[in-house]
């Protein structure tokens, strides 16, 4: 064979390798597409995304036409390499061996690895362009693809593998959605990311984690003198106050200060007027998920609820504001005259009241105290020690050093918390 014929064979081989590379890069890029972004672009009217969505909706036929074209071209390339080897080296075993190794190397490098790496790196750019070629190609080769898929479907049926429910493979669990939000940190503002993550946790957090404990509830006793009630209503920084009779376990209603404000200012407030202005109390069981309670507040048009245990004893008060703060963080300031539950010392230690909620401590002070048991710092210490501690007692919980500074009435009142020392890179190694 002359040099011209040999050159034609080599040129034809190069074309076949390029075609094989096209099918390889198309396969990888189509499979590597982000299905959610693809759906979004298709809804926006992107032509390439729409074609790619149609092709991916029938994965068996898409893979059928790609692999059909790829295998036919690779077989043709192998035949050409054999002819070229025979013409150059003669018809012998050495020529055939060299031809086999050469075509394997060429297909592996130029038609498989390199295009697939490119397809995985730039899936959208390549898949959207390739879909314009694969769509008519699938229509042309549809009879062959359909015939081949008959055998494929039979084998899958024998193996009891179902392929018709593709929606299950694209559904995201709660943890996967959380990971998705974390990975999208470059595209979502940090505050928005924090809100989304808090929303994912809302079903796992209960009202016990966010409620105001019973001993911190601001309420009025209907049996008190009118002067004391007026003073309590006038100085309260809340808009709604529980009203009880004798003890907090006998709450008879919730009064909105706005409804009695005019009577307070005119000096005409009376016990009967307070009873008329009261709204029936709204009780909820302990352990109610915050997301459920948020929905209940919306349906019942309420802003606060009283949390009770299985015996009907009052445990605390949860408000709509408490739930919103779990989502967006604190957005209100402390009331005048109200002291903070936390105070940091010069050495970095924190002085904390024993009634503080553990979730608040972890969130506001960047601690990692366990929250799967007791809800307050006092409860955590009592559970850990299994005894009523005395002032001066120290203990260690999950790397935090806790020193009891003050106890009163079998309750831990004040605690000094020493956070764990930060781990340096050298210590980590």
Has residue 336 been placed in a domain?
no
Tell me: do 215 and 284 sit in the same domain.
Answer: yes
- In this structure, the answer to whether residues 322 and 407 fall within a common structural domain is no
- Number of domains the chain contains: 3
Boundary of a domain, candidates 141, 170, 199: 170
Q: Do the domain assignments include residue 27?
A: yes
Q: What is the CATH number of the domain that holds 312?
A: 3.10.580.10
CATH (domain of 420) = 3.30.465.10
pTM of the model: 0.61
Whether residues 154 and 228 fall in one domain: no
Position 183 in a domain: no
**213, 166: one domain:** no
19 and 165, same domain (yes or no): yes
Question: Contact at 8 Å (CB) between 37 and 180?
Answer: no
Residue 335's pLDDT is what?
Answer: 47
Residues 391 and 251 in one domain: no
Q: Are residues 108 and 160 in the same domain?
A: yes
> Do 72 and 162 share a domain, yes or no?
yes
In a domain, 199, yes or no: no
**Domain for residue 352, yes or no?**
yes
23 and 103 in one domain? yes
Residue-range definition of the domain harbouring residue 52:
3-170
- Evaluate whether residue 230 is within a structural domain: yes
Q: Is residue 67 part of a domain?
A: yes
Whether residues 218 and 317 share a domain: the answer is: yes
Q: Could you tell me if 22 and 126 lie in one domain? A: yes
Of 170, 194, 222, which residue sits at a domain end?
A: 170
Q: Which of 276, 301, 328 is the last residue of a domain?
A: 328
**225/98 same-domain check:** no
pLDDT digit string (tens) for the chain, length 429 residues: 455 677 788 888 889 889 999 999 999 999 988 888 888 888 888 998 899 989 888 888 888 889 888 889 888 888 888 788 777 777 777 777 887 888 888 888 988 899 999 999 999 899 999 999 999 998 888 888 888 888 888 888 888 777 655 545 556 676 777 777 777 767 777 777 777 888 887 778 889 888 888 888 899 999 888 888 888 888 888 888 999 998 888 999 999 988 888 888 888 888 889 899 999 999 999 989 998 999 999 999 999 999 998 888 999 999 998 888 888 876 654 444 444 577 888 888 889 888 888 888 887 888 888 888 888 888 899 988 888 888 888 899 888 889 999 888 888 889 999 888 765 545 544
356 domain residue, yes or no: yes
């Amino acid at each position: 064979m002359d040099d011209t014929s040999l050159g034609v064979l080599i040129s034809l081989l190069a074309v076949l390798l390029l075609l094989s590379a096209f099918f390889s890069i198309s396969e990888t890029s189509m499979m590597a597409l982000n299905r959610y972004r693809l759906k979004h672009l298709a809804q926006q009217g992107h032509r390439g995304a729409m074609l790619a969505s149609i092709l991916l909706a029938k994965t068996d036929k898409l893979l059928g036409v790609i692999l059909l074209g790829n295998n036919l071209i690779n077989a043709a390339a192998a035949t050409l390499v054999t002819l070229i080897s025979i013409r150059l080296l003669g018809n012998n075993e050495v020529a055939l061996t060299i031809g086999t190794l050469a075509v394997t190397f060429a297909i592996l490098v130029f038609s498989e690895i390199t295009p697939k790496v490119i397809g995985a790196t730039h899936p959208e750019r390549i898949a959207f362009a390739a879909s314009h070629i694969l769509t008519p190609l699938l229509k042309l080769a549809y009879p062959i693809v359909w015939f081949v898929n008959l055998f494929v479907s039979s084998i899958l049926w024998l193996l009891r593998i179902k392929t018709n429910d593709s929606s299950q493979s694209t559904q995201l669990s709660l943890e996967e959605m959380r990971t998705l939000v974390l990975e999208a940190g470059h595209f979502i503002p940090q505050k928005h990311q924090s809100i989304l993550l808090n929303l994912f946790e809302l079903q796992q957090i209960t009202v016990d984690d966010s409620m105001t404990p019973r001993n911190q509830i601001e309420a009025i006793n209907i049996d008190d003198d009118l002067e004391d009630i007026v003073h309590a209503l006038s100085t309260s920084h809340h808009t709604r106050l529980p009203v009880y009779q004798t003890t907090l376990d006998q709450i008879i209603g919730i009064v909105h200060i706005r409804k009695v404000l005019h009577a307070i200012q005119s000096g005409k407030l009376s016990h009967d007027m307070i009873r008329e202005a009261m709204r029936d109390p709204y009780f909820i069981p302990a352990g109610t998920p915050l997301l459920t309670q948020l929905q209940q507040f919306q349906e019942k048009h309420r802003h606060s609820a009283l949390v009770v245990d299985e015996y009907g004893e009052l445990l605390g008060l949860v408000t709509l504001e408490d739930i919103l703060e779990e989502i967006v963080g604190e957005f209100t300031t402390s009331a005048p005259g109200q002291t903070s539950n936390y105070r940091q010392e010069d050495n970095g230690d924190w002085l904390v009241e024993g009634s503080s909620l553990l979730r608040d401590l972890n969130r506001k002070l960047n601690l990692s105290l366990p929250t799967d048991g007791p809800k307050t710092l006092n409860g955590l210490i009592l559970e850990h020690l299994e005894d009523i501690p005395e002032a001066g007692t120290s203990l260690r919980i999950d790397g935090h050093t806790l020193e009891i500074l003050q106890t009163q009435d079998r309750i831990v009142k004040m605690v000094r918390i020493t956070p764990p020392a930060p781990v340096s890179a050298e210590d980590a190694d």
